[in-house]
Amino acid sequence: MNSNSRLPIGLFDSGMGGLTVLKALAQRLPGEDLLYLGDTARLPYGTKGRDTIIRYTLKAAQKLVDMGVKMLVVACNTATAAALPVLREHFAPLPVLGVVEPGAQAAAAASRNGRIVVLATEATINGGAYQQAIAHIRPEATVLVRACNLFVPLAEEGWMNGPIVEGIARRYLEGFFDAPEGENQGTDATLPDTMLLGCTHYPLLQGALREVVGPEVNIVDSAATTAEFVAEELARLHLLHPEDQLADNATKKDRHGKSLFLTTDHVARFIRTGSLFLGRDMADGEVTLVDL
């Protein structure tokens, strides 16, 4: 057994969005301890320049590494797109995983007609990370993209549905899923059949997005796929927590790893909004204010 297997997995994001990845990871690997950093003082990353994003990302990652982790998960699409190679080089041999490749694989597999819409932040879209990743996996695919910068503050505010959120979503999606008059979306093969949520904040708005695109469109987020990638990589490196190596799934469910949370600004707000992302009430003692 690797001596580092009992160390926590470190995850970070610019804010709360990466909690969707943490939640999926806790469900997939209930024995693992998780350490999460939300850099809320610098939120959002998605409107910043690449050099700034890399600088912020290195500081966030360094904080987790200094606390002792066995793997870094960049639970932020913007940071993954801008800084993943830099992080891997800087922290080698520590394994560093991002969310873009898992999301791209899930979208490519879900699409029947190869027409995929990617919604993400401005920085992720401009960097071309998803376009390149999907093209590598499925070269014949047509990838349509749109930056949806208002989705992050909506999610951070806890505005997940309702006419205002749906109205903003409808404006962003205008032209993508509009079938010709007399036809419905599900019968027009020229329209996208899959929408990839290329920001970890966006799954919170999935209900509103579903109202806009209808039932025929596959909506894909990278959280569950990223959790599976993490599990496979930990197993390959012999870093799975001993409790997650148990063959008996019933026994695994009886063991719950600990989750600790760090934020760079406003603990009370993190607790309030983080509870929405996790689907449970967070306690004061779970969240610590840190300075990068």
User: Does some domain include residue 47?
Assistant: yes
Q: Do 148 and 212 belong together in one domain?
A: yes
**Same domain, yes or no: 156 and 171:** yes
pLDDT, tens digit (0-9, with 9 covering 90-100), for 154-176: 998 889 999 999 999 999 999 99
- Section 80-106 average pLDDT: 96
> 143-147, 179-183, 235-239, 273-277 — which is least confidently predicted?
179-183
- Other Cβ atoms less than 10 A from the Cβ of 198: the count is 32
Q: Any binding-site annotation on 13?
A: yes
Same domain, 260 and 174: no
Q: Is 36 annotated as a binding residue?
A: no
- The residue ranges of DSSP E strands in the chain, in sequence order, are 9-13, 34-38, 71-74, 96-97, 115-120, 142-147, 194-197, 218-221, 259-263, 287-289
Looking at the structure, do residues 59 and 135 belong to the same domain, yes or no?
no
* 250 plus 238 within the same structural domain: yes
Residue 131 counted as domain residue: yes
pLDDT over 90 percentage in the chain:
80
Please answer whether residues 140 and 114 qualify as being in contact, where contact means their C-beta atoms are separated by less than 8 angstroms. Answer: yes
Is there a single domain that holds both residue 69 and residue 213? Answer: no
What pLDDT score was predicted for residue 234? Answer: 96
**125: CATH:** 3.40.50.1860
Residue 252 has pLDDT above 80, yes or no: no
Domain count, the chain: 2
- Give pLDDT tens digits for 209-221: 999 999 999 999 9
Q: Mark whether 162 and 18 lie in a shared domain.
A: no
Give catalytic residue positions: 76, 199
Nearest to 263 by CA among 94, 1, 9, 38: 38
Backbone angles phi and psi of 69, in degrees to 5: -135, 155
The answer to the question of residue 202 being in a domain is yes
Residue with tokens 């993954």: 80
Q: Do the domain assignments include residue 205?
A: yes
So what's the pLDDT on residue 129? 93
Residue 3 belongs to some domain of the structure: no
**Residue 78 annotated as binding site:** yes
3 is annotated as contributing to ligand binding? no
Task: Tell whether the model's pLDDT for residue 186 goes beyond 80.
Answer: no
CA 12 to chain centre: 10
45 is in an annotated binding site: yes
281 known ligand binder:
no
Residue 4, in any domain of the structure = no
Same domain, 53 and 110: no
pLDDT (0 to 100) of residue 183: 53
Domain coverage including residue 83: 9-97+223-289
